[in-house]
Amino acid sequence: CIPWPCFELLGNEDREICEHFVHAPNDVKVEFVDDPNLKSDTVVVSWKPSSYQVYMSDPFPGLSLGAQFAVTVMSLPVPEKWEKFYSSTTFSTRKIGLEKCKHWYPRHVEVQQEGTIVTVTFNLAPPNLGIRNYFSLCYANGKKEYKAITPSLAENQTHHSFQLDGLQEGTNYTCEPRLLICYSSRDGPAHVKAVNHFGAFVQKHMATQVCLDLWDSLGVAEEGYMAWYCRHIRDSDFILVICSRGLKRRPEPPGAEGDDEGEEEPLSFGPDARMSEAVVQLIGEEVGRAKARGQDLSKYMAAVFQYSQQADIPVELGLVQHYTLTRDLALLFSHLHGVALHRPGGHLKIAPLSEEGFAELPAGAALQSAISDAEATM
């Protein structure tokens, strides 16, 4: 849309009739302002119509992150001569936050309780990451308690403390642990599908943050398969290896003596089919070092679906806790959250995680169907 110049409105008889000529705006600037919506940016445009004034626009909210925009400030009415009646500039919104801070999380979380008063202290992000807001989620009885946290940036502090409100007496609360799930795709796409549905069920119904390479293809491509796993092995609270025949079956190196030329080589159903053995060996080394240092081995777990056997668990994982899925879902929940299922005079039953109850949930029914399909193909 191009505005008409004055003579188009006033007639072509006398072009000198336009006497309100204005020059192009000068010193066009774009300033970012605080936006409560962290998924977008908000800017304000300022300019000088003359050397004595500064005009500012209304905020422009909802600008997409990681995008480039152009701003044009035009003087009106448009003069007859079309030279220099507008000024333009370009700017870029901030990059998506995950690019800079996707590897950061509070590593120090301390919970202190005095009666019904619970105080949580955690370390703040470095200033260069630009993280200004935080939140906490508490889980109890299937309900989530959300609390927004905005530390004061005026003070030069490295940690922040806040109190949890509205907690119910006699109720166990938990924070989402980070669980890394490792598996082998050597057993085919049906097995991979079962792993995928299992991860979805754990994240949705077991108050756990699941790390699965199937859900982070871009991150795996950027970092590399082994680098991605090394980082998550280091940062995760728990590591669960889904064991199967394909995971334990190690391929012989090419040209090894005694190879049977007529023996069919196992099929590979993904770029990680051979790398998964290296990941298991890496986890086995971590287990061995922790055992030698007398450290707790509860971080590491091994599990098999009902169509696999305990014999499919590699030797490297012989020292860690073993589970059979989906029979031991409640035991796995107990392991992840440190909740005792049995106590003197009582037994804690988690209905959605029982052998009968989990299939009544949509995610549980999908998991059961995926396991049945994988069992039929094994």
Domain final residue pick, 118, 139, 164: 164
Number of domains the chain contains: 3
Give the H/E segment covering residue 201.
helix 189-205
Q: Environment class of residue 356 by beta-carbon count within 10 Å: exposed (0-12), middle (13-18) or buried (19+)?
A: exposed
SS3 content of the chain, % helix, strand, coil (to 5): 30, 30, 40
Structure tokens at 52: 């004595």
Is residue 245 located within the same domain as residue 286? Answer: yes
Residue 115 falls inside a structural domain: yes
The phi, psi pair for 275, rounded to 5°, reads -75, -25
From first to last of the 378 residues of the chain, give the pLDDT tens digit: 445 555 555 555 555 555 555 567 788 889 888 777 777 888 998 888 766 677 788 888 888 888 889 988 877 666 555 566 778 888 888 776 555 666 677 878 888 877 778 888 999 988 877 788 888 877 666 667 788 888 887 777 888 998 887 777 777 666 788 999 999 988 889 999 999 999 999 999 888 999 999 999 888 888 888 999 999 998 899 999 999 988 876 555 545 444 444 444 444 444 456 788 888 889 999 999 999 999 889 999 999 999 999 999 988 899 999 999 989 999 999 999 888 887 776 667 777 788 778 888 999 999 999 999 999 987
Please indicate, yes or no, if residue 173 is contained in any of the structural domains: no
Q: Is residue 1, in this structure, part of any structural domain at all?
A: no
Q: Which domain holds residue 126?
A: 104-164
Same domain, 83 and 114: no
Rounded Cα gap, residues 79 and 85, in angstroms? 7
Say if 63 falls within a structural domain. Answer: yes
Same domain, 208 and 281: yes
Radius of gyration of the chain, Cα coordinates, nearest whole angstrom: 30
* Co-location of 295 and 351 in the same domain: yes
Of 114, 142, 164, the residue that ends a domain is 164
Burial label, 63 (beta-carbon count in 10 A; 0-12, 13-18, 19+): middle
73: Cα separation from own chain's centroid = 40
Could you tell me if residue 349 is inside a domain? yes
- Residue 135 within a domain: yes
